[in-house]
Amino acid sequence: MIAEKLRKAILQAAMQGKLTEQLPEDGNARDLLAEIQQEKKRKIKAGEIKATGPLSPMLISEEPFDIPENWIWAKLGELVDIGIGRTPSRQQPKYWSGGKYNWIAISDMVPNGIVNHTKELVSQLAFTECFKEKLCPKGTLIMSFKLTIGRVSIVGEPSFHNEAIISIYPLLLSSKKDSFSNYLFKVLPEIALTGDTKGAIKGSTLNSKSIRNLLVPVPPSNEQNRIVTRIDQVMPLIDELERAEEELDALEKEFPDKLKKSLLQAAMQGRLTEQLPEDGDARDLLAEIQNEKKRKIKAGEIKPTKPLPPIDPEELPHEIPSNWTWTKLGELVMFENGDRGKHYAGKEKWTASGIPFINAGSLNNTYLDDASVNYIDERTFNKLRSGFIKKGDILFCLRGSLGKFAINEIFEKGTIGSSLVILRKHPGLETEYLRFYFSSPLIKLMIRTFTTGSAQPNLSASNVNNFIFPLPPIQEQLRVINRLTPLLYMINQLEKTWKQ
């Protein structure tokens, strides 16, 4: 993201002396380094800190970039005293029970912030036996160096920390110590990433040697203060940019889906197409469908079903054009459940090939394909009593993956799992229009209206029978399809582009 790149660029400019003006009155950082070395010797002699082994010599070729003439490159081990934390034994409850002192883990660290609270506390015994009564004072700079490298925080209350964190104590008199600590607080996250890391099971890590050998560009104290002030002025603006980027990113991710839903909703409301007088009235189409249904029942082609209750006007979710009509899905399609009896084709009966057995995992909310279809053999298929699919059928999930569907246009023969139901349309209803209905927000509303059960909501075929359906004349169904298909295709292409 732009904000993150800009943040890194600002810190890099700060470390190169490009963020602030170099003033002659600031003096030379070489004098500051001499003060640090003198203070370090004094502290070692006084027993305040321990002497450390010599650092590897610094070569000009190691310097990663140019810095102003009155700055100096130095190694972190020359500039600060470093304390590595520890974790009291987990096998000793006495160190953890009755916790009194903050014990900082990396997860407790507030990036570029202050740590006031920790998830775990250690006891008074840990204070004396494990940490020898040496707390990190309030205001101490700490940095993670294992797994999460370079996270920095300031200790808000006297605390201890674990062995993946170092505490950093600038080797300067108090008058300049705060300036240098504040400067390090800003630049160490970038400097730490340049260290000689080693592989670990969960990621990269630094060790005490590589930490002490980190190269630090050191400005004079006054310029350190100006750098910190300048960074503090700029970073809030970058933080605002980052928040705006995150909001825009979220909008971009949501936009295609929201646009699809809006278009599908508009289609179901008749707002996506023009209503033409020559289309006629959908009530006539519904009458034709019902007459054809009666004919099939009389001819024994389908079984009669119970009359559906009339639609309560209070149930209607929105208005539709005057030449459309509200009806129930059961008036337009036939339903067939799968065989849930003793011959049900459970997993133990599946085969590598044979007759398609469709369950919820095969549904893709569009046209069925053979990529995720299971199979059963002819013998198992012939024992089933129902749930036989035909081309043009809509397969709808009643349980588990509630509301998933697919249209079968590839299999001449097959059967369904127990969580599905077959919807077979009567003539006068376009398959693509049905697909858009099952993809629309209206179907989600119907599912919420009719679902039962709290732990695992489910529907019955009878529930789906009573889903209300906005029926347009056949010609307008075709116009909806012709209007919506290219729009949804373009949105899908746009979504793919944004995901790249």
pLDDT for residue 198: 56
CA pair distance 207, 146, nearest whole angstrom:
8
Residues 191 and 279 reside in one and the same domain: no
pLDDT for residue 455: 64
CATH number for position 60: 3.90.220.20
Mean pLDDT, range 441-463, rounded to an integer: 84
Whether residue 450 is predicted with pLDDT greater than 80 in this model: the reply is: yes
Share of the chain above pLDDT 70, in %: 97
pLDDT for residue 500: 62
The domain in which residue 236 lies consists of 2-242
Residues 350 and 459 reside in one and the same domain: yes
**147-163 confidence digits (pLDDT tens):** 889 999 999 999 999 99
pLDDT for residue 440: 95
pLDDT for residue 21: 94
Residues 227 and 278 reside in one and the same domain: no
Whether residue 49 is predicted with pLDDT greater than 60 in this model: the reply is: yes
Instruction: Return the structure tokens found at 263.
Output: 């278009």
Q: Last residue of some domain: 217, 242, 267?
A: 242
CA pair distance 375, 357, nearest whole angstrom:
5
From the list 153, 162, 152, the residue with the least C-alpha distance to 96 is 162
User: Is this structure's pTM higher than 0.85?
Assistant: no
- Residue 495 CB partners (closer than 8 Å, separation 6+): 256
**175-226 confidence digits (pLDDT tens):** 788 899 999 999 999 998 887 655 443 456 788 888 999 999 999 999 999 9
Q: Last residue of some domain: 242, 269, 296?
A: 242
CA pair distance 427, 107, nearest whole angstrom:
63
Residues 230 and 335 reside in one and the same domain: no
pLDDT for residue 207: 85
Residues 52 and 7 reside in one and the same domain: yes
Cβ neighbours of 443 (radius 10 Å): 21
